[in-house]
Amino acid sequence: MRLRQLLSVILLALWTICGAVPALPQGANMATEQGKIQAVVFDAYGTLFNPYTAQPQAEKLFPGKGTELTRLWRSKQLEYTWLRSLMQRYEDFWEVTRDALVFSCQSLKLECSEQAIQGLLQTYLDIEAYPEVEQALRELKGRRLAILSNGTPGMLQAAIESTDLEGVFAQVISVDAAKTYKTDPRVYQLAPDKLGVAKSAIAFVSSNYWDAAGAKAFGFWTCWVNRSGAPPEVLGVKPDAVVKSLAELQDVLPR
């Protein structure tokens, strides 16, 4: 009998004898100890899809400023989702993305015409996947896969079509249904609601530490995809696994 199975049997026996739920080892999760992960849910932007797809076009429009613009744009995009959640003033992700772009151009003193804005926004509809995504998802064949994203339904559908991932995901879930953004627990609750499984039976995968932390605090088994080798955020919550790319995901997921 494998160690995990033996531990589960011992815990169950103690529960039966003592009439109480025994404490698991620090960092352990009852669902993963029992091997009952039923669905793997992915963040979209930064995890499956590259939010810096616009960089070459931004560089063409604003020579020498493309990288700075796309990085500030992404940073403000996320900041605006958090601020709008706190203010309870929801606007969908397309509008937030546009607002963040307008601010970023103004902040960098770039003359950004409406045509330029529309062209840069279009890159979110023609977005690129990270190189390892297709193979990593293929290796998970047989598992139930889903997306849980800040993106609007239209943005997510366009991204899936742009990256030839149609038919891969059992559910594509947008925060639009909750009218708030990650890391609000109401967003993470959408996944068990839509998939029809307990939150303890979901593995959540994100390249954003704050997102992985929010998902872990909610009750998911979590994996942080740390492509850049960044230090972990100090939030009092740690993911269950850390990988350098999605190519390593199959090796760390609970069986």
DSSP code of 229? -
Q: Is the pLDDT of residue 171 over 50?
A: yes
Domain count for the chain: 2
Mean pLDDT score, 155-184: 97
Residue 85 lies in a domain: yes
Measure CA of the first residue to CA of the last residue in the chain; give whole Å: 15
Query: For residues 156 and 162, what is the distance between their CA atoms, to the nearest angstrom?
Result: 10
Residue 230 is predicted with a pLDDT of: 96
Place of tokens 């979209």: 44
Q: Is the pLDDT of residue 22 over 80?
A: no
Q: Is the pLDDT of residue 248 over 50?
A: yes
Looking up residue 151, the CATH number of its domain turns out to be 3.40.50.1000
Q: Is the pLDDT of residue 243 over 60?
A: yes
Task: Judge if 64 and 144 occupy the same domain.
Answer: no
Residue 164 is predicted with a pLDDT of: 97
Residue finishing a domain among 95, 122, 149: 122
Looking up residue 100, the CATH number of its domain turns out to be 1.10.150.240
Residue 66 is predicted with a pLDDT of: 97
Residue 9 lies in a domain: no
Mean pLDDT of the chain, nearest integer: 89
Residue 36 is predicted with a pLDDT of: 86
**Which ranges of the chain would DSSP assign to H, the alpha helix?**
3-18, 30-33, 55-61, 66-87, 93-107, 114-122, 133-139, 153-162, 185-195, 209-218, 249-252
88-138 pLDDT tens trace: 999 999 999 999 999 999 999 999 999 999 999 999 999 999 999 999 999
In the chain, the percentage of residues whose pLDDT exceeds 90 is: 84
Query: For residues 139 and 133, what is the distance between their CA atoms, to the nearest angstrom?
Result: 10
Query: For residues 201 and 32, what is the distance between their CA atoms, to the nearest angstrom?
Result: 8
Residue 25 is predicted with a pLDDT of: 32
Return the amino acid letter for 144. Answer: R
Question: Smallest Cα–Cα separation from 204: which of 163, 218, 137, 151?
Answer: 218
Residue finishing a domain among 98, 122, 146: 122
Task: Answer yes or no: 43 catalytic.
Answer: yes
Query: For residues 16 and 10, what is the distance between their CA atoms, to the nearest angstrom?
Result: 10
Mean pLDDT score, 174-179: 97
Residue 95 is predicted with a pLDDT of: 98
**Of the residues 43, 176, 211, 240, which is catalytic?**
43
DSSP 26-38: TT--HHHHTT---
Residue 35 is predicted with a pLDDT of: 53
Residue 237 is predicted with a pLDDT of: 95
- The Cβ of residue 77 has, within 10 Å, a number of other Cβ atoms equal to 22
Q: Which tokens belong to 198? A: 């307990």
Residue 171 lies in a domain: yes
Q: Is the pLDDT of residue 24 over 80?
A: no
Mean pLDDT score, 147-162: 98
Write the CB contacts of 206 (distance below 8 Å, at least 6 apart in sequence).
Answer: 42, 43, 46, 47, 212, 215, 222, 223, 224, 225
Residue 16 lies in a domain: no
42-88 pLDDT tens trace: 999 999 999 999 999 999 999 999 999 999 999 999 999 999 999 99
Residue 22 lies in a domain: no
Could you tell me the residue range of the domain that residue 93 belongs to?
55-122
Query: For residues 213 and 210, what is the distance between their CA atoms, to the nearest angstrom?
Result: 5
Query: For residues 117 and 122, what is the distance between their CA atoms, to the nearest angstrom?
Result: 9
Q: Is the pLDDT of residue 255 over 90?
A: no
